[in-house]
Structure 1
Amino acid sequence: MEDHQIVEMYIQRNQEAVIQTEMKYTQYCRSIAVHIQHNLEDANEALNDTWLAAWNSIPPHIPKCLKTFLGRLTRNISLKRVRSENALKRGNNEIKVIFEEVENWLQSDQDLEREVAEQELTEELNLFLDSVSDIERNVFVRRYWYMQSISEIAEYHGFSNSKVKSMLLRVRNKLKKRLEMENYL
């Protein structure tokens, strides 16, 4: 079933929308949740919360890309679960490392969310990602969106761990410079 048909079912409040969403996007959303939570049971709970959040969000929100919308819901729900369980303090090292990689230059005296609307920052990030190579974009998205480990990314691309780390450092530095030039930092 096409995404626009599924979205239309949500708008009409047809419960078949949830069934179709689950059939089409469980594998995609589960992979996001598992990478963040590192636990299949918790990931499956996050999926149930994702389907409910989609039901509650559509309408009034009408997503342009259902896959991206569901991925974002899953990611946010999974991250919220990790935070609420204090997983960062108890040793979920991969997520802790990911946050530490960017936290030092995202901190400022001003609250970034109050200064810049989320949409503007998203657009700037998308423009930045369009300006880097396909490989750099793929590595960056795998690390900071899907929260994959360095070794998973290296294995996928056939790179060494050090090459992935180096590439991520270069891309983060490019992003930081761009955000500074555009007065986001």
Structure 2
Amino acid sequence: MEDNHIIKLYFDRSESAISETANKYGRYCYSISYNILHNHEDAEECVNDTYIKAWESIPPNRPSSLSAYLGKITRYLSLNKYEKYTAQKRGLGQVQAVLDELENFIPTFSSTEQKIDDMALVETLNGFLASLPVETRKIFMRRYWYFSSIKEIAKDYGISQSKVKMTLLRARNELKRHLEKEGVML
């Protein structure tokens, strides 16, 4: 079913909106959540919570990209659950590794709010992503948005793990230069 038809089902308050969403985007959302949590039950719970959040927020929202909208909700819910794990000393490693890699390049949320408007940072990051070659952008997004492991990225793109690591290192260094050029305080 096309996204605009699914969104119409939400606007019509049809319960089939959730089942159609699950049919089309269930595995996508599960993949995002599982890459963050590495726990099947928790990933499934976050996916189900994604459907509830979508039901509550559509309408009034009318997402231009349903997949991105659902992915963002799933990612947010999964990161919140992950944060609860780490607060309980039950961290799972992969997410923390990804966050550690970016720690020196992206300002913390509190300093971002103090130093620049969130929208300006989003524009700066989008500009950086747009400047990357397509393959580099895909690898960067897989690692830092979808929290995919180096091994998964290498396998999916048919390249060596060392090439993935080097691509990410160069992209992070380029990100640092880009942020400094844009006046973002690191």
1:168 matched to which residue of 2?
168
Q: Which amino acid aligns with 2:85?
A: E
Q: How many residues align?
A: 185
Question: Is the partner of 2:64 in helix, strand or coil?
Answer: coil
Q: Which amino acid aligns with 2:124?
A: E
Distance 1:116 1:4, change over 3 A: farther
1:34 matched to which residue of 2?
34
Distance 1:163 1:6, change over 3 A: same
**Alpha-carbon separation, structure 1, partners of 2:110 and 2:14:** 44
Give structure 1 regions of 4+ aligned residues with deviation exceeding 3 angstroms.
87-91, 107-110, 113-120
Deviations 1:110-154 (A, max 9, x none): 620344444433332222212111110111011001101111112
1:88, distance to aligned residue in structure 2 (A): 8.7
Deviations 1:68-115 (A, max 9, x none): 000111111111101112279434111111111111232469620344
Give me the CA root mean square deviation. Answer: 2.0
Identity of aligned residues (%): 44
Q: Which 10-residue stretch deviates more, 118-127 or 6-15? A: 118-127
Aligned 1:44-123 pairs, distance under 5 A: 44-86=44-86, 89-107=89-107, 111-123=111-123
1:137 matched to which residue of 2?
137
**Alpha-carbon separation, structure 2, partners of 1:109 and 1:87:** 18
The reply on whether 1:2 has 2:2 as its aligned counterpart is yes
**Alpha-carbon separation, structure 2, partners of 1:116 and 1:140:** 24
Q: Which 10-residue stretch deviates more, 14-23 or 86-95? A: 86-95
1:4, distance to aligned residue in structure 2 (A): 1.1
Distance 1:2 1:106, change over 3 A: same
TM-score (norm 2): 0.90
Q: Which amino acid aligns with 1:145?
A: W
Distance 1:88 1:169, change over 3 A: farther
2:183 matched to which residue of 1?
183
**Alpha-carbon separation, structure 2, partners of 1:48 and 1:110:** 30
**Alpha-carbon separation, structure 1, partners of 2:106 and 2:131:** 21
TM-score (norm 1): 0.91
1:44, distance to aligned residue in structure 2 (A): 0.5
Aligned 1:20-31 pairs, distance under 5 A: 20-31=20-31
Question: Is the partner of 2:105 in helix, strand or coil?
Answer: helix
Distance 1:74 1:124, change over 3 A: same
